[in-house]
Structure 1
Amino acid sequence: MQYHYITIEGNIGAGKTTLAHLLAKRLNARLILEEFADNPFLPKFYENPKQYAFPLELFFMAERFKQQKDMLHTTDLFHSITVSDYLFTKCLLFAKVNLPEEEFKLYQKLFDIMEQQLIFPDLLIYLHSPVSRLQANIKRRNRSYEQQIPDSYLLNIQETYMNYIRQCGIKTIFIDASNADFLSDETHLQAVLNVLHDGFAGDQFYLEFE
């Protein structure tokens, strides 16, 4: 397979981690998962976004940078493929939504310094789901601090991702996950694996399920 570093992205509740686990298992790949639960500012942010947005985003960026630099710069003799459930650029996308202009400018300067030291993925898999399904997934996984996320916030995040994908320059499989069920329907997972193994012409490939 031509891809050695695959990143899965999408909105909150899109199913990134589930697909990352499944692909890593089928591809015998090293798995990098975001350690969001360690961020002490996350519950506080949902209660008071204006006060806690900047420390929240700084903590996430520092943790993601350390994790990716440690793991991606370490040779793994047993795995030729790495699958991650987040893209480092996610830091900048969420910061753009959450931070006021002056704080975002400072944040972007720090981001630019860190990004230069990391490896870009060969392939981005983006999971796109309607907000109603995102909310259902969020409710199902039952993290207390996520239960009051407004639709407007998810729509803002979604629009920011879409703008990024249009100009990012990374080969992308864009999956309409409205009806996707990678856990229970083997044909859905196999469809993704087929695209990974066969490759595709151009910069983007669109995949949807009945």
Structure 2
Amino acid sequence: MKNVPFIAVEGPIGVGKSSLAKEIAKQYRYTLLNEIVEENPFLGNFYNDIKEWSFQTEMFFLCNRYKQLEDIERGYLAKGVPVVSDYHIFKNQIFAERTLEASQYDKYRQIYYILTADMPEPNLIIYLRASLNTLLDRISLRGREIEKNIDPTYLLQLTKDYDQFMEKFINDHPHVPVLTFDGDQIDFIKNKTDLEMIFSKIDHQICVNN
């Protein structure tokens, strides 16, 4: 890649972002950046009452993801060390726009753009998408207590929000390549061939951008 490799894996809850990022880190010997999820003290309450706890939840995620990216930029990217992350901070916009009231969202957007104005931008994004049934199955399999009350309606809407956001992102950021994989059609955890196919696509993209 033209700059120090910085790959971000994105997609809705339960799609397999962390698992794939871990495999990429192992394959390419990149530093792995995992998003903070269960450490969010508001998340359990959020899944029980989205309207009441959305602002606290989103602000916690925003501030922590900002700090993580700042540390990654200074500690790794600035020193030429490649990084793969299991999220992109742009996801905050997807969740916040869906859950916050209009007045809260306006304030949130102002803070978001101030914090992210000079954040490092990935030079490759991997977008994992899947149907509601696949997401629910995978969420159930990983058995996080904090996710047991996720509303399927909310999760379905989130998948649609992600698709819309990614379509706009691709149009607005033609300089950032995006690889999209369908989680209903592949299972890179159980099927090594699927994982090798993903690596092949990444290899090709790295060659194209070098």
| Alignment TM-score, normalising by the size of structure 2 | 0.90
Alpha-carbon displacement from aligned partner over 1:95-152 (angstroms, at most 9, x marks no partner): 0111111101100000000111211100110101110010011111111231232222
> Could you tell me which residue of structure 1 aligns to residue 194 of structure 2?
188
Alignment of 1:119 with 2:120, yes or no, is yes
> Could you tell me which residue of structure 2 aligns to residue 14 of structure 1?
15
RMSD: 2.1
Alpha-carbon displacement from aligned partner over 1:150-205 (angstroms, at most 9, x marks no partner): 22211211121111111212310010111322122211111111111112999xxx
> Could you tell me which residue of structure 2 aligns to residue 4 of structure 1?
5
Task: Kindly state the Cα deviation for residue 76 of structure 1 after the two structures are TM-superposed.
Answer: 6.3
The equivalences for 1:37-48 within 5 A come to 37-48=38-49
Distance in 2, matches of 1:64 and 1:76, equals: 16
Distance in 1, matches of 2:123 and 2:154, equals: 29
Structure-2 change in CA distance of 1:196 and 1:46 (3 Å): same
What amino acid maps onto 2:24 in structure 1?
L
- SS at 1:57 equivalent: helix
> Could you tell me which residue of structure 2 aligns to residue 136 of structure 1?
137
Deviates more, 1:73-82 or 1:90-99: 73-82
Which stretches of structure 1, 4 residues or longer, exceed 6 Å deviation after superposition?
76-79
Count of residue pairs the alignment pairs up:
202
Structure 1 residue runs of 5 or longer lacking an equivalent are 203-210
Distance in 2, matches of 1:82 and 1:53, equals: 30
Structure 2 residue runs of 5 or longer lacking an equivalent are none
8 Å CA contact 1:30–1:79 kept in 2: the answer is: no
8 Å CA contact 2:6–2:82 kept in 1: the answer is: yes
Task: Kindly state the Cα deviation for residue 73 of structure 1 after the two structures are TM-superposed.
Answer: 2.1
Distance in 2, matches of 1:66 and 1:100, equals: 25
Distance in 1, matches of 2:85 and 2:91, equals: 12
The equivalences for 1:1-210 within 5 A come to 4-75=5-76, 80-168=81-169, 169=173, 170-199=176-205
8 Å CA contact 2:21–2:84 kept in 1: the answer is: yes
Identity %, equivalent residues: 29
| Alignment TM-score, normalising by the size of structure 1 | 0.90
